[in-house]
Amino acid sequence: MLKTCYSIRMRAAERSPELGEKHISGGERIGSKSQIEPIVKQLLNKASNHSRGDADFIQITIEKIARDQIQYIPPLEITTVEAASIEMAHSEARKILTSLGVSEHALNVAFHQLSSNQNLRGAIILNSKTGLRLDNRGQKGVRVSRIDWQDANGDLNERVREALALASKVANSPFTIAELCWSDDPDYVTGYVSNRAIGYVRITPLKREGCESGGRIYFVLDEVELESFIDYLESVPVLIRGD
């Protein structure tokens, strides 16, 4: 167990005349002092070799975290659904989310946002009944931060490890009904729906190859304490316990 640890965060962007600051990549790690340098190198490599383009702005933030601030939670269980088409994959995701209590209108808002938005830097928070966006962050959205695995999990590739850690933190909040996500990476067509009851359900294909639209939607309860919820997502350090 780490005595003193550090949150190490990366954000990479390309300054585009069309999109302003186009989001390229992000990364989140927690490590000891001796791990800072190799983690920074790993995050810089990720920022510099990304299918969304060449970053001309890379920001690395390193912040000390006290051990007693960290929450330890288990990962969600993984299942996979392979659909014959994008339409069938969307239908499966909608069916699952409906069963969790997300309204049809909220689903329509969510799918429209993810299908049309190419520059979301964080997640959108939606009321699961009304479909009203609650975070008022625009393209910036809400970025889940200060998250990593307690121990290496060699059974998962890096992309799935990162997404599962993030989804597990989001699902751990009592205000979360469910999450819907697919990547804005043009070469990655698999997305997921998740919550504490169903786990982390990978669904493919949720978009066509080459498409740069995507992002994350967090569906929340009517009774959400929004300030507390966002503070948890952005500021509370969480380590995911491996097997």
* pLDDT confidence band for 19 (50 / 70 / 90): low
Look at residue 243 and tell me if it is in a domain: no
Task: Choose the final residue of a domain: 22, 43, 69.
Answer: 69
Task: Choose the final residue of a domain: 19, 53, 69.
Answer: 69
The token pair at 186 is: 């043009």
Whether the pLDDT of residue 148 is over 70: the answer is yes
Tens of pLDDT, residue by residue over 58-103, are: 999 999 998 888 999 999 999 999 999 999 999 999 999 999 999 9
Q: What CA–CA distance (Å, rounded) separates 126 from 40?
A: 33
Look up the pTM and report it. Answer: 0.90
- What's the domain range around 148? 76-236
Q: Are residues 109 and 157 in the same domain?
A: yes
Q: Among residues 212, 239, 217, 224, which one has the least CA distance to residue 173?
A: 224
Whether the pLDDT of residue 50 is over 90: the answer is no
Q: Are residues 145 and 204 in the same domain?
A: yes
Which residue type does 216 have?
R
- Total tally of structural domains belonging to the chain: 2
Q: Are residues 99 and 22 in the same domain?
A: no
Q: Are residues 91 and 59 in the same domain?
A: no
Look at residue 122 and tell me if it is in a domain: yes
Q: Are residues 85 and 45 in the same domain?
A: no
Tens of pLDDT, residue by residue over 166-224, are: 999 999 999 999 999 999 888 899 999 999 999 999 999 999 999 989 999 999 999 99
Q: Are residues 94 and 137 in the same domain?
A: yes
Q: Are residues 114 and 226 in the same domain?
A: yes
Look at residue 115 and tell me if it is in a domain: yes
Determine the pLDDT at residue 185.
87
Q: Are residues 57 and 83 in the same domain?
A: no
Tens of pLDDT, residue by residue over 213-225, are: 999 999 999 999 9
Quick one: CA dihedral 40, 42, 46, 48, positive or negative? positive
Determine the pLDDT at residue 159.
87
Query: pLDDT: is 14 or 137 the higher one?
Result: 137
**Average pLDDT, whole number, for the chain?**
91
Q: Are residues 199 and 129 in the same domain?
A: yes
Determine the pLDDT at residue 153.
64
Whether the pLDDT of residue 131 is over 90: the answer is yes
Arithmetic mean of pLDDT, 5-14:
90
